[in-house]
């Protein structure tokens, strides 16, 4: 089974998981992030961006739908579809151009864009656990499965 469950006792652990993801990122990776409001989805993306060398703030793209980051050779798109009213808005922003096989795309609230987004390589679900969180990572493509397996090994 391509599933990896990671305990995240505090915020630092979420940042750390993001930074481990940064170490194994490959071009064109599509990651869905699910979990309730406040679960830590944006926090995980922040850890990943910092791991790639980003120093500035990481805004939650709740109103803009997407924020982009160019870090070294990597292009990252961070989506938050929480406020998406109609998936057709995705058509209007030219959603297909973002998922171009080069950029890595991290999508919060992917279920709101159902039918308009490509399938993910990895799905990450974050849930509350005691005072902290627990993340489960599932590899859904060959690339995603290999990446989850490599995270599981170290
Ligand atoms: N492993 C963790 N344990 C406890 N608190 C966490 C953990 N990871 C993140 N947090 C906190 O939870 C909140 C998550 O917020 P955010 O990342 O914006 O959530 P989301 O994007 O899922 O709505 C932040 O206040 C952060 O400090
Ligand atoms: Mg968020």
Supply the range of the domain harboring residue 52. Answer: 3-153
Distance (Å) from CA 61 to ligand 2 centroid? 8
How many angstroms does the Cα of residue 135 sit away from the middle of ligand 1? 12
pLDDT of the residue at 7? 98
Bridging pattern class, strands 3-8 and 132-139:
antiparallel
Residue 36 CA, closest ligand 1 atom number: 22
pLDDT at 72: 92
C-alpha of residue 83 to centroid of ligand 1, in Å:
19
Look at the chain and report how many structural domains it folds into: 1
The pLDDT, as a whole number, for residue 2 is 83
Residues near ligand 1 (Cβ within 6 A)? 8, 10-11, 13-14, 35, 37-43, 108, 132-133
C-alpha distances out from residue 26 to 11, 53, 104, 128, Å: 25, 16, 7, 28
Of 11, 58, 125, the one to substitute when testing ligand 1's pocket (max ligand atoms within 8 A of C-beta) is: 11
What residues have CB less than 8 Å from 1, skipping those under 6 apart?
none
Distance 69 CA to ligand 2 centre (A): 16
The CATH number linked to 33 is 3.40.50.300
Rg of the chain in Å (alpha carbons):
14
Give the Å distance between the CA of 43 and the centre of ligand 2. 7
pLDDT attached to residue 63 = 86
Of all ligands present, the nearest one to the C-alpha of 60 is: 2
Specify the pTM.
0.97
Note the pLDDT of residue 4.
Answer: 97
Q: Convert the pLDDT of each residue in 92-114 to its tens digit.
A: 999 999 999 999 999 999 999 99
Counting as low any pLDDT under 50, the low residues of the chain are: none
What pLDDT, on the 0 to 100 scale, is given for residue 1?
Answer: 58
Q: What is the pLDDT of residue 99?
A: 97
Phi and psi at 116, nearest 5°, equal: -115, -10
Which numbered atom of ligand 1 lies nearest the CA of 108?
A: 21
């Amino acid at each position: 089974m391509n599933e990896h469950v990671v305990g995240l006792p505090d915020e630092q652990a979420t940042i750390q998981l993001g930074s481990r993801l940064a170490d194994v990122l490959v071009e064109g990776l599509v990651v869905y992030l699910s979990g309730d409001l406040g679960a830590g989805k944006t926090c995980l993306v922040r850890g990943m961006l910092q791991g790639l060398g980003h120093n500035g703030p990481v805004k939650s793209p709740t109103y803009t739908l997407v924020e982009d980051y160019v870090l070294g050779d990597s292009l990252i798109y961070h989506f938050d579809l929480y406020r998406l009213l109609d998936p057709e808005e995705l058509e209007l922003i030219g959603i297909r151009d973002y998922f171009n096989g080069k950029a890595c795309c991290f999508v919060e609230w992917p279920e709101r864009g159902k039918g308009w987004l490509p399938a993910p390589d990895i799905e990450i679900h974050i849930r509350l656990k005691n005072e902290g969180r627990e993340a489960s990572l599932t590899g859904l493509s060959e690339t995603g499965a290999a990446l989850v397996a490599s995270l599981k090994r170290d």
